[in-house]
Structure 1
């Protein structure tokens, strides 16, 4: 399932190339703005930064929640796809480390969308049922590959790693939150490598 390509305004018709480019720019801009400024950011500002008019935004996303739903789906899909790509291009432990660093950005976006995600949850949106398990499965694959390669300790469990990573979500907000979170990820990765069978990792 491709979580990133559902039309925000319904209808399901294939978008023209220019309309798709506009839509993609809106999603990318909204992701960045929500992560840095929160979900209450002006939709007019998002449209302006994406280089389109507010009418174009509303044609693709008739409400703030519709935009947020698509942004969230895209973020989940990106984390899923990153696991595959990183494992293809890096050693298993390096892939795991890089993926966990990307997880910080994912959490930043999710924190920025918190209130609207809560509204979607309370409205019984299928969003959470459809995306549930995607992140844990991606992390499980990464951890198991690193364990099998002897690059991290044998008793590493992906559920424990996800629990540790998820604690970043509840950390106090502040200008150094992202840097502090990245340091914590590096410390977590050092702990996973400690006692690994392979002495060169």
Structure 2
């Protein structure tokens, strides 16, 4: 079994400062925020940033991981009694969250490239949860036979991208789109 390398206290502190600076700058500038500016604001060099985060994708995953983990926990807590309604409600929550958090949709569409096995990939967490919700809805005949997890992830993300910083419109457009996925 591979052993996860623990960071020294100063390394952990640098990582936390990088993520905090990235969160602030991504909120302001979006997913394409300058990595140099993130490093400068965190008080570290570019090499330190890249030691902790080998790619922009890895850094964005870290920035968004906590919020996505909370979304996933709420989906996992669904009782499974009304799969279609639970799937629709969770997709709505995901779409509103991604529309509100500038750059998340682009990060999720990018996939887990550049992450190590030790990293928890929020894209994979979302897909795992969505797979369960889709399977439940499909097993009850509450989902169009051709609709896949990937389709629904793309739908939610596309609506979020189109309505970034406008969660009310994102919610409305998703609701319109979801009426088309039910048989």
How does the TM-score come out when normalised to structure 1? 0.52
Measured in 1, the distance between the counterparts of 2:75 and 2:11 equals 33
The structure 1 segments of at least 4 consecutive aligned residues displaced by more than 3 Å after TM superposition are: 40-48, 57-60, 72-83, 91-96, 103-108, 110-114, 135-138, 186-189, 192-195
Q: Does residue 24 of structure 1 match 2:16?
A: yes
After TM superposition, give the deviation of residue 88 of structure 1 in Å: 3.5
Deviations 1:130-173 (A, max 9, x none): 87x8354442222222444x5x8243623442342243265276
3-state secondary structure, aligned to 1:61: helix
Asked if 2 retains the 8 angstrom alpha-carbon contact of 1:33 and 1:46, the reply is no
Q: Residue 127 of structure 1 aligns with which residue?
A: 114
Q: Structure 1 residue 18: deviation in Å?
A: 5.6
Size of the aligned set, in residue pairs, is: 165
Q: Show the counterpart of 1:9.
A: none
Segments of structure 1 that go 5 or more residues without pairing to the other structure are 1-11, 196-201
> Do structure 1's residue 179 and structure 2's residue 168 form an aligned pair?
yes
Any gaps of 5 or more consecutive residues in structure 2?
A: none
Length-normalised TM-score, structure 2? 0.56
Distance (whole Å) between structure 2 residues aligned to residue 112 and residue 194 of structure 1 = 26
- Give the alignment's Cα RMSD to 1 decimal: 4.7
